Amino acid sequence: MKKEQLIRFLNGTASKAEQKQVLNWLEQEGAREVFDQFLNETWRHSRPDRDDPTDYEALLERIHKTIRPKSTSRNSGSGLSLGKIFRVAASFLLLTGSIFFLREGMQYQKPAPVAIAQTTITKKTGDGEKLTLQMPDGTHITLNANSALSFSSGFGKQDRVVYLQGEAYFSIAKNPRLPFQLHTGEMITTALGTEFNAYARSGRFALALTEGRVAVDAAKKRVELEPGQMATLHTEREPDALDVRPFDIDRTVGWKEGQLVLDRKPLKALLADLSSWYDVEMKIDPRLDLNARVIGTFRNKNLADVLTGLGFSMGFDFEINDKMVVIKKESL
């Protein structure tokens, strides 16, 4: 029988299963002698300070008399009854004043539960793909094309921290005791329960709040956003400049509903977006003015419809051959 288990038994901290194991063991032949030896060695090992006037040797003898009355022969019985075992244990604790076992019980530490190794989970989208995720805490996240979202396997229990590369829309479940934290490169966003759009591509990081409140940490400062405000950081241009201003919700979040809103966006950037969203490769005529700004709105249009509208206003023709799109300057 293990020493630690006997200590827990005498302290009254053993589980029912452990109590049953000790009691069954005490009924076995020779167990009482081992138990007596354990009590004696434990007692001598835990003798108190010299200033204590108690005659502990006499007290130990009284315990042994309680366990083995003189009038009882070694052959008179098979051992202590279960009830008497409990009484002996209780008497022992009372007589010793809990000198050793209570002390050992406080010092004894159960083996720490083996921690389950945390793993990192990553969800990705490719060209022309979108992905909607329902997180364990009830948060909904929609990933735009060419984006990646990473989080630990303990998300929702130990933390609510995610890492984004690309673009995504977040609808955060409320949990005041476990704030939601989004890392997008040089920007960290903390929220309790809210909705926002996050963007992290090519040194540009933006957080556009549509509902609730969030705190954004970036460029060595913290700002709190209200609905309708967007915080933007261009690390390649001005690494310490965090810009906060109103935003157009359709233009910023329209992608989630298949809506493309253009407000003076450079043609070069727009064609790059279309290449990603529709999963095609663009071959562009170098004679085109790629710095020209584009204005317009396209709702749930296929690529051919979008390029037809753009070509009419920007002066180019196009051909779509499976995954290849050829953009060439309109012939006169």
| pTM confidence score | 0.59
Closest CA to 152 of 195, 124, 176, 117: 117
- Residue 45: what pLDDT? 59
Tokens of 300: 């749930």
**Cα–Cα distance, 75 to 57 (Å, whole number):** 27
Per-residue model confidence as pLDDT tens digits over 92-129: 544 444 444 444 444 445 555 555 678 999 999 998 88
Tokens of 6: 């006997």
- Residue 196: what pLDDT? 97
Beta bridge partners of 317: 328
Closest CA to 261 of 290, 292, 299, 308: 299
Domains delineated in the chain: 3-107 (no CATH), 120-249 (2.60.120.1440), 258-329 (3.55.50.30)
The values of phi and psi at residue 254, to 5°, are: -60, -30
Per-residue model confidence as pLDDT tens digits over 47-78: 455 554 545 555 556 555 554 544 444 444 44
Count CA atoms within 13 Å of residue 310 on its CB side: 31
